[in-house]
Amino acid sequence: MALTPSTIACFPPRVTVVGSGNVGSALAQRLAEKNLADVVLLDVVEGRPQGLALDLMQARGIERHDRQIIGTNDYADTANSDVVVITAGLPRKPGMSRDDLMLINGKIVLEVTKQAIVHSPNTIFIVVTNPLDQMTHITWKASGLPVHQVMGMAGVLDSARFQTFVAMELGVSTSDISATVLGSHGDLMVPLPRYTTVNGISITELMDADTIEQLIDRTRKGGAEIVDLMKTGSAFYAPSSSTCVMVESILLNKCRILPVTTYLQGQYGLRDVFVGVPCRLGCQGIESVLELDLTEAEQLALHQSAEAVRQTSDRIEALLASS
């Protein structure tokens, strides 16, 4: 992989969060309160990002940090961002298919990327908007950046959900559990029990197959379970935590190994498709892709997951061509 020099020149780094809805505003708070970066919060809605930024600024003395939070509707204010996170989009409404949402959010993500890249030409993009794998593809193409500088957040969240359910089932600390979920962000995600461990012991040695299957099923439906409870809106605390840990690994060059949506070019026998796999995240973005040793069944599940993403690539290409 050809790596270009880091854009991170001096502290504090600057992170733009596009979309000041539930995920975007929670992420801005986490980034600032962890003292990780100055934050530019941008939205199309006038006043909302400015109001949220002022509110967050007024908490600084209490939270004891000095990060700047700027709210804006103008991309000029996002100039020289080290990382741009895209959370802008619309949620699915009753009667709307995933395809309808893909086109609506596809146009939004395309426009956001084109505007953001003008002011931060060597940034690193993290896409959060759904449908995740397809939106990440759009940002990669529209930005013209190398693949290691464009990635999607989903696997960290799906793994965190699996980790939580395993901890609840076993009655142990969540911190002692390391969970791995690969694949696309949706019903075909691929939780890997063999690579899910409690202090190094695989859960396949600690639970029976039926229990593991129930936890996997709950993980797959993790987002929907929260939507059903909340009635309006969807999860944002764990999604913003998940995005924050990716930003942190990049800005601090921590080189964490995290499941990230990336463009595969032969790894896992897959090519030219965005899908979630473990990656090493450092100051240049995706520093490398880790290839786990998968069983035939695990490999098949990953390929099926990737195939579902690939089936939509015509529509993504058509959208890009018409822009």
Taking residues 231 to 270 in sequence order and writing x for each that binds ligand TXD by CB under 6 A, - otherwise, the string is: --xxxx--x-------------------------------
Per CB under 6 A, does 285 bind ligand TXD? Answer: no
- φ, ψ at 55 (rounded to 5°): -60, -45
Rounded Cα–Cα distance for residues 280 and 258 (Å): 7
Site for ligand TXD in 34-73 (CB under 6 A): 43-45
Per CB under 6 A, does 130 bind ligand TXD? Answer: yes
Instruction: Find, among 163, 257, 175, the residue nearest to 216 by Cα.
Output: 163
Tokens of 155: 């696997």
Tokens of 95: 């009667």
Is residue 92 a known part of a binding site?
yes
Residue from 8, 15, 132, 190 that binds ligand TXD (CB under 6 A)?
A: 132
Per CB under 6 A, does 186 bind ligand TXD? Answer: no
Is residue 43 a known part of a binding site?
yes
Choices 16-24, 76-84, 266-274, 309-317; region in contact with ligand TXD by CB under 6 A:
16-24
Per CB under 6 A, does 21 bind ligand TXD? Answer: yes
Instruction: Find, among 268, 175, 14, the residue nearest to 278 by Cα.
Output: 268
Per CB under 6 A, does 113 bind ligand TXD? Answer: no
Per CB under 6 A, does 86 bind ligand TXD? Answer: no
Q: Is 65 an annotated catalytic residue?
A: no
Closest approach of ligand TXD to the CB of residue 100, in Å: 13
The active-site residue out of 119, 137, 148, 185 is: 185
| Contacting residues for 107 by C-beta, under 8 A, at least 6 apart | 319
Q: What is the dihedral of CA 275, 255, 246, 60, to 10 degrees?
A: 180
**322 burial class (0-12, 13-18, 19+ CB within 10 angstroms)?**
exposed
Is residue 199 a known part of a binding site?
no
CB 81 within 8 A of CB 120: yes
Query: For the chain, what is the radius of gyration of the CA atoms?
Result: 19
Active site residues: 185
Q: Which residues are annotated as a binding site?
A: 19-24, 43, 92, 98, 105, 128-130, 161
The residue ranges that bind ligand TXD (CB under 6 A) are 18-24, 43-45, 87-89, 91, 105, 108, 111-112, 128-130, 132, 153-154, 157, 185, 233-236, 239
